[in-house]
């Protein structure tokens, strides 16, 4: 591990890459967060991240068990941590894009995802 990545399972600092678990309203997701060199950094202040379903048999906010969050736009809030940012972005996605309802995972996407 070097200074540009957090240890696996730990929430990264702003600018670090990281892989960690968050829970949003009872829905766990494994987060892969881009660091300061992520693909999204040239167009957004906020880092891009991917969310992966942790449990293949539970509903998720994507039928595939994966959802990319790039180019997220939000107001700057002092003291906001990367995990709180991720939770807020996912909660907003569930509320707006999913109309408050999680989606059943399609069988073809249940194999090999976790």
pLDDT digits (tens, 9 = 90+) for 56-112: 889 999 999 999 998 777 777 889 999 999 999 999 999 999 999 999 887 776 665
Q: Which helix (H) or strand (E) holds 84?
A: helix 82-96
Residue 108 φ then ψ, to 5°: -65, -20
Give the residue among 27, 32, 26, 28 at the shortest CA–CA distance from 9.
Answer: 32
pLDDT tens digits, one per residue of 3-53: 689 999 999 998 889 999 999 989 999 999 986 655 555 555 678 899 999
Starting at the earlier edge strand, list the strands of the sheet with 27-33.
Answer: 18-24, 27-33, 49-53, 66-69
CB 63 within 8 A of CB 108: no
CB 16 within 8 A of CB 7: no
Give the residue among 21, 29, 99 at the shortest CA–CA distance from 64.
Answer: 29
């Amino acid at each position: 591990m070097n200074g540009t990545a957090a240890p696996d399972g730990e929430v990264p600092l702003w600018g670090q890459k990281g892989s960690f678990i968050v829970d949003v309203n009872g829905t766990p997701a494994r987060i892969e967060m881009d660091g300061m060199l992520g693909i999204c950094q040239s167009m957004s202040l906020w880092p891009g991240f991917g969310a992966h379903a942790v449990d293949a048999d539970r509903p998720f906010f994507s039928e595939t068990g994966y959802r990319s969050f790039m180019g997220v736009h939000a107001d700057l809030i002092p003291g906001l941590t990367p995990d709180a940012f991720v939770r807020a972005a996912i909660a907003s996605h569930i509320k707006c894009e999913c109309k408050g309802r999680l989606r059943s995972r399609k069988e073809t996407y249940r194999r090999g995802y976790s």
